[in-house]
Structure 1
Amino acid sequence: MTEHPPDRPAPPPPALTDHERLRALAETRLDVAPDEAFERFARLVSALLDVPVALVSLVTADRQFFPGAVGLPEPWAGRRETPLSHSFCQHVVDIEVPMVLPDARLYPRVRHNRAIEDLGVIAYAGMPLTDLDGRVLGSLCAIDSKPRAWTAEQLRILADLAAACSSELRLRIAVDTAEQARHRAEEAHDRLAMLADLSETLGGTLDVGTTVDRLGRAMVPLLADWCVVTLVDPTRRPSTVAAVHRDPAYAAEATRLAELVTRGLGPGSIIRSVLRTGRPVLHSPAPLTDVRHGTTESELVALADRLGFGSHLTVPVTATGGHTVGTITLVNGPDRRGFDDDDLRTALDIGRRAGQAVGNSWRYGEQRHVAEVLQHSMLPTLPVVPGVQLAARYLPAADRVEVGGDWYDAFVQPDGELVAAIGDVAGHDIEAAATMGQLRNLVRGDAYGRTDPVEELMTHLDRAIHGLAIPTVATAVLARVRRTTQGGLRVSWCNAGHPAPLLVTAEGRVTLLEPGREPLLGLSRPPRRTGRELLLAPGDTLVLHTDGLIERRDRSLDEGQAELVERLTGTGNRPLADLCDLLLAAAPGREDDVALLALRAG
C-alpha cells in the first residue's frame, strides 16, 4: 500500500465514486441530520464496547457524514461530517471487509490521516454497512483515543450490530425505491389519464384558438414548466401561438413571449426546423443560445430566461395525411429534470392528437352546414292536437355533427288521429342521419292516410326497408293515438327492438311497458309484428325515448332503465316540457344521441 505524506492527500479510493453505490447511498435519504434509529446503534456500540466514540458513518465521493454519532468532539459533533482527509471509514468502503486497528499510528494506510490528531482516533474497529447488493455504503465503527486490543467478543458484537444497522439502511432504500416507483407509477398514470382525456378536452371546442390554449394547459405542469404551442397558416408562418407557464405570476410574460414568437422566429429557429422537416428536436440540457440563435427579437431571449430555461423539446403537430400544421415546445427550468425519450414519445403522441383536433376544426365549417340542413329537415315541428299534449327533445352526443341516427316524429292523420314514432338508426355520423331521414320519410309515407293497425304498418316498413335495399339496422316504436269519449287516449303501439315505453300516471306511478318488444327493423327475414294497446287516463303520460338516455359504459341497460323509472316516479303533475328537460339533465356525459318524445292525455 502506497503511503501518502501529510502534505499530499491521498486520492479517494475508486469504490467511493461508483455510480451505483452513490445512487444507493442517496436512496437512504440520510444526511448530517441525526436519525434516531442510527443514533440508537451508535449508543449501543458505545455502551456494549465501552468506547468513547461510536459512529454510523456513510461515505460519499468527497466526505463522510454521521446520521448516528456518540462522543465526537467539537466542532465535529455540531457538523456531523468530515472531509475524507479525516475518514477511516472510506477504507472500509474500499476494502469491503472489516478494518480493525489497535493503534492507527502504526498502519501505513491511515498513519497520516488527520483524524488521528483532530479527532483523537487511535484505536479503530469498523464493520461494513451494505445494501442488498453488497455495496458498502459506510461503516459502523468504534473508536478509542488510546491503543486498544479489540477482543473477539467485541468484534462479534460490532458485527452483529452492523448487520442490524445494514438492515435498517436497506429498509430506508426499499422505502425510497417504493416511493420512487409509486411516483413513477403516478406520473405514468397521470400521463395516461392526460392522453385519455386529451381528445375529449380538444374535442370540446371547434375554435382553433381555444384548442391551442386547452392543449397548453393540459401539458403544464404535468409534462413541463412551460410550453409554447404554434400553429401555422398556409404560407407556413405562425398564425396562432399560445404560451402557458405553470406559475400564474408569469402569465403576462408568457403572453408576451407568444406574441414575439408569432413574428420573431429567425432562420435558425428550432420551431421553423421542426415545421420544415417534421422531425422533433430534444436538447437536455440546453443553453439559452438555442433561443438566441432562433429569434430576431432580443426580448424573447430575456423572456425565456425569466420563465426558466434548462431543457427543451419540440415536436410537430401532425394533421391527417402527415402534414405538419404546427409545433409543441415543452420547456423545463434548470431546477427540473431534463427531458428524456419517454417525454419525447408522449409529446409526439400529443402532437398527433392535437393535429387531429386542428384538422377536425378546419373541416367542421364544411360539415356544419350539411348537418344543420339535415337537422332542420329531420326534426319536425310537433303538431297541435286537441286533447293531446306533446313535447320532444333531441340532443346529439357531440357538437361536431348536429344530428345522428336518433329521431322522433308525430303527425296528424286525415281522420284526426295522431301517429307518433321514435327510432334509432345504427351509427353516429351524417350517413346515419341521412339513413334516419329515409326511414322517417318511409314511416310517414307508409302510414299517412291509412287506417291499418300499427303492427301492419310496422310490417310494411320492414318490407320497404328490405325491398328498397336500405342498408340499415334500426329500432323503432310506432304508435297510433285516438281520443276517447272520457277525455283519455287509446294508444295502440308496436315495438321493433326499441327501449320500452314508460307510462307515468297522473298520480306519479311509473310502469315499464316491456311486453311487445320484437326484433329490429332491417333484418333479412322480417318477423310477424304484434301490436299492443294502452289506455291513458286524463293526466297520464307516455314517454318514448332512445337508448342514449339510459346507456352508459359503466352500467347495464337494466340499471339505466331502473334509474330512469326512479327519476320519473312522482313527476305526474310536472309540466311536460319540464319533464323532458329533467330527463335530459339526468344524462351528463352521455355517449350517444338522445331522442325523447312525450305525450299526455288532456
Structure 2
Amino acid sequence: MAGPEDAETPGKRSPTAPAAVPVAALDAIGTAAYVVDEEGRVIAVNAHAEQLLGRSAEQFIGRDAHDLLHRDAHGHPLPRSRCSMRQAFHDRRTAQAEEDWFECGDGTLLPVSWLITPYDLGGREAGTLVLLHALRPPQPGRRPQPDTAGEPMPELQRLALLAETTTRLTSTLDVEEALRRLTELVVPRLADWVVVDLITERDEVWRSAVVHAEGDGLAHREELQGPMPPVPAESPMPLSRALRGVASALAGPETYQREPDSGIAVEQRRLFEATGIRSAVIVPIRSTRAVLGALTLGRAKDPVDFTTADLPLIEDIARRAGLALDNARLYQRQRKVAETMQNHLLPQLPRVPGLRMTARYLPAPDASQVGGDWYDAFSLSDGATALAVGDVVGHDLEAAAGMAQLRNMLRAYAWAHKEPPSRIVDRLDEAVMHITDVSMATMILARVEARDDGHWELTWTNAGHPPPLLISHDGLAHFLTDGHGILLGTGVRTPRTDATAALPPGSTLLLYTDGLIEAPGHTLDEGLHRLRRHAAALAHRPLTSLTDEVLRRVRYETNDDDVALLAVRAPTGT
C-alpha cells in the first residue's frame, strides 16, 4: 500500500478520492489505467495514462471519463447510446473492446483497445478500473484520419440511413419542414455543415439553408442565406454544374481561390471562408421532372475528407430529398390555387341597417386539406337577409368547386322563391345529387328580419350541421338546437322543419363549421362546451374582436380542418 507521502503525490489522486484507491498499485500495473466512481467520474489515474493521453492528473480527476475521452472515428463527441463501454459499466461486469477512439489533451485522436472490470473501493462504494492500450501512436500536431478514411459507409448503415431519409422526408408536405428534417438527417452524422440551394419557380436560385452542428443542436447562419446570382450556362465550377443537373463533385477552399467566373463562384468563396469548410461534396437535387437545386455537405472540424466513395450515398439522399421537395411544392401549389379560388368565391357581406356582421375563413394547416367550408350572407327579394354556413364533404379542389356550386344554387333558390328556409333547403337537396359534383354536405340556412316592434327575429333550418350559438349581451350563451334535419346528398327525403328565435338587443349569433370545435382526441361535446364558455366570456367585446378571439381560443392546435365563422350582432336598442 502507498504511504501518506505517496497519496499526496501531485497529479495522482484527488484529495477527496476514497482512501481505498491504491494509486501506487495503478502505477505498478505497467499500462495506462484509471478508476472511475459509480457516476463515471475519474477518481484515480496512473502516470502511464497521463503520458499516453497527454493529460495531467488534474485534468482527469473529477471529470466524467466518457465526456472527457470518448470520441467517434471522426473526432466527434460519442453519444452515450453508442458507447460500447456503457452497458458493461452499468452492469458492473468485465468487458473489452478491440478498437475505440480517445481524445488526447492536444486534440489528437488515439486508437485504443480497452478492458474494464469492477474495482472495490472499500465499504459500500464501488468503482470501475479501465485499462488502455494504444493501437497506433497519434500524429502530433493534427488529428489523424482513421484507417477507414475514404471507405464508404457499411451497407447496413447506408440502407438504414436511406430508409430513415425516405420515411422522414416523405411524411411532410411542407417545404420548410422537409428542409429542417434533411439537415437533421445529415448533420452531424455525415458532415459538420449542410447547405441547400433551391431553384425557385421563377428560375432563381435561393440559398435556403446554411446549418452547422453546434453542441448538441443545430445553428443556422442566416447571414449566409438568401438570393444567389444566376446559374452560368457554361461554368465548370462544382455548384454551377450541380445546379444545372450535370454532375456531382468534391470541392474545397482551393476550388474557389482561382479567379471567379461568375457571381455564384464569389458566393461560394465567401461560404468557404465564413464556415471554415475544408472538404465538401456538392450534388444536384432532382425530381422526376426537373433540377430543384443542390445539396452541399461540408466538413470543417471532421478530420476525414470526403472522397468519391461518399458520392453514391449523398446522391441517393439528395434524390429522395428532391422527390419530397417536389411533392411538397405541388401540394403547396394546389393549396394556393384552392385558397385563391375559395377567397374569391367567399362573398362580401351585405350592409344591413341595424345589424353588424363579420366573417372569417381559415384554411386547414395541412396543404392537402383545403376546400369545403363556406359562409354566405345576402339580401332576399322580400327585404329579409339570408345567412348561411356549410361544409361540403372533402378537402381538395373538388370540394372547393362543389362549395361554389352549392352556394350559387342556394342564392338562386332563396332569391326566386319566397319560402321558409326549410323549403329552400329541400329544393337544394333535390338538386344536389343530379346537377352538382357534391356528394354530401351540411349547412344551416337562416333568415333574419326586423319585426314590427323593432326587435330582430331569426328563422332557420339545420341540415346536419353544428348548432348556431346565441350569446346575450350579458354573457348568457345557448345553442339553437331546434330545426335540425339530415344532411344534404343522402337521397333520403324526410320533412325538414323551421325554428324561430328572437335576437335580444345586443346579442351575438355565431354560425360556424365543425373545424372550429373538432379535433382528433376531442369529443364534439368537449368542443361545443369550449366554444360556449369562451364565447360567453367575450360577449362584451366588439364584434371583430370577439370573432378573432373565438378563433384563437377555441380552435384546437391539432385541428386538421378548415374553419368558416359568421358572426351577427343585433342592435342594442334605445
Shorter-normalised TM-score: what interval? 0.5 to 0.7
- Indicate whether 1:355 and 2:326 are aligned: yes
Structure 2 matches for 1:95-110, cutoff 5 A?
A: none
Identity of aligned residues (%): 31
- Matched residue, 1:144: none
- Matched residue, 2:94: 131
Moved more, 428-437 or 216-225: 216-225
Q: Give the superposition deviation at 1:306.
A: 5.5
Instruction: Provide, for residues 247-276 of structure 1, a one-character-per-residue CA deviation record: whole Å limited to 9, x for no partner.
Output: 8999699469x8689569952626625853
- In structure 2, the CA distance between the partners of 1:299 and 1:439, relative to structure 1 (3 Å rule), is closer
Letter of the 1:463 counterpart: E
User: Is the CA contact (8 Å cut-off) linking 2:450 and 2:456 kept in structure 1?
Assistant: yes
1:168 to 105, 123, 128: 128
- Matched residue, 1:272: 241
Distance 2:542 2:225 in 1: 50
- Matched residue, 2:150: none
- SS of residue paired to 1:168: strand
- In structure 2, the CA distance between the partners of 1:539 and 1:337, relative to structure 1 (3 Å rule), is farther
Distance 2:318 2:394 in 1: 32
1:475 to 424, 432, 442: 442
2:451 to 484, 496, 515: 484
- Indicate whether 1:318 and 2:281 are aligned: no
Distance 2:185 2:204 in 1: 20
User: Is the CA contact (8 Å cut-off) linking 2:252 and 2:280 kept in structure 1?
Assistant: no
Letter of the 1:598 counterpart: A
- In structure 2, the CA distance between the partners of 1:253 and 1:419, relative to structure 1 (3 Å rule), is closer
Moved more, 452-461 or 394-403: 394-403
- Indicate whether 1:442 and 2:409 are aligned: yes
C-alpha RMSD over aligned residues: 5.2
- SS of residue paired to 1:480: strand
Q: Give the superposition deviation at 1:508.
A: 0.9
Letter of the 2:176 counterpart: L
- Indicate whether 1:593 and 2:553 are aligned: no
- Matched residue, 2:85: none
Q: Which TM-score applies when normalising by structure 2?
A: 0.63
Moved more, 297-306 or 222-231: 297-306
Report the count of equivalent residues.
455
- In structure 2, the CA distance between the partners of 1:493 and 1:335, relative to structure 1 (3 Å rule), is same
- In structure 2, the CA distance between the partners of 1:389 and 1:77, relative to structure 1 (3 Å rule), is closer
- Matched residue, 2:373: 406
- Matched residue, 2:477: 510
- In structure 2, the CA distance between the partners of 1:345 and 1:549, relative to structure 1 (3 Å rule), is farther
Q: Give the superposition deviation at 1:41.
A: 5.4
Distance 2:508 2:267 in 1: 69
Structure 2 matches for 1:529-548, cutoff 5 A?
A: 529-548=496-515
- SS of residue paired to 1:462: helix
- SS of residue paired to 2:25: strand
- In structure 2, the CA distance between the partners of 1:33 and 1:470, relative to structure 1 (3 Å rule), is farther
- In structure 2, the CA distance between the partners of 1:265 and 1:82, relative to structure 1 (3 Å rule), is farther
Distance 1:307 1:274 in 2: 21
Unaligned runs of 5+ in 2: 1-10, 37-44, 54-91, 99-112, 131-160
Unaligned runs of 5+ in 1: 1-31, 47-52, 69-75, 85-128, 141-157, 171-186, 204-210
Q: Give the superposition deviation at 1:534.
A: 1.7
Larger radius of gyration: 1
2:210 to 238, 244, 248: 244
User: Is the CA contact (8 Å cut-off) linking 1:57 and 1:66 kept in structure 2?
Assistant: no
Larger fraction in helix: 1
User: Is the CA contact (8 Å cut-off) linking 1:503 and 1:543 kept in structure 2?
Assistant: yes
Instruction: Provide, for residues 431-483 of structure 1, a one-character-per-residue CA deviation record: whole Å limited to 9, x for no partner.
Output: 32221111011111212243323222221111011232533311100112232
User: Is the CA contact (8 Å cut-off) linking 2:429 and 2:488 kept in structure 1?
Assistant: yes
Letter of the 2:284 counterpart: P
User: Is the CA contact (8 Å cut-off) linking 1:379 and 1:409 kept in structure 2?
Assistant: yes
Distance 1:195 1:33 in 2: 52
Q: Give the superposition deviation at 1:167.
A: 7.6
Instruction: Provide, for residues 543-597 of structure 1, a one-character-per-residue CA deviation record: whole Å limited to 9, x for no partner.
Output: 1011222233353333222221111113333332322222233347553322111
- SS of residue paired to 1:543: strand
- In structure 2, the CA distance between the partners of 1:336 and 1:448, relative to structure 1 (3 Å rule), is farther
Structure 2 matches for 1:132-531, cutoff 5 A?
A: 132=95, 137-138=114-115, 168=128, 199-200=173-174, 202=176, 224-232=191-199, 239-241=205-207, 244-246=210-212, 254=224, 266-267=235-236, 269=238, 272=241, 275-276=244-245, 300=268, 304=272, 307-309=275-277, 311-319=279-287, 321-335=288-302, 348-358=319-329, 372=340, 375-376=343-344, 378-397=345-364, 404-531=371-498
- In structure 2, the CA distance between the partners of 1:222 and 1:489, relative to structure 1 (3 Å rule), is farther
- In structure 2, the CA distance between the partners of 1:552 and 1:277, relative to structure 1 (3 Å rule), is farther
User: Is the CA contact (8 Å cut-off) linking 1:220 and 1:245 kept in structure 2?
Assistant: no
Q: Which TM-score applies when normalising by structure 1?
A: 0.60
Instruction: Provide, for residues 75-110 of structure 1, a one-character-per-residue CA deviation record: whole Å limited to 9, x for no partner.
Output: x966754669xxxxxxxxxxxxxxxxxxxxxxxxxx
Distance 1:159 1:506 in 2: 77
Q: Give the superposition deviation at 1:347.
A: 5.2
- SS of residue paired to 1:494: strand
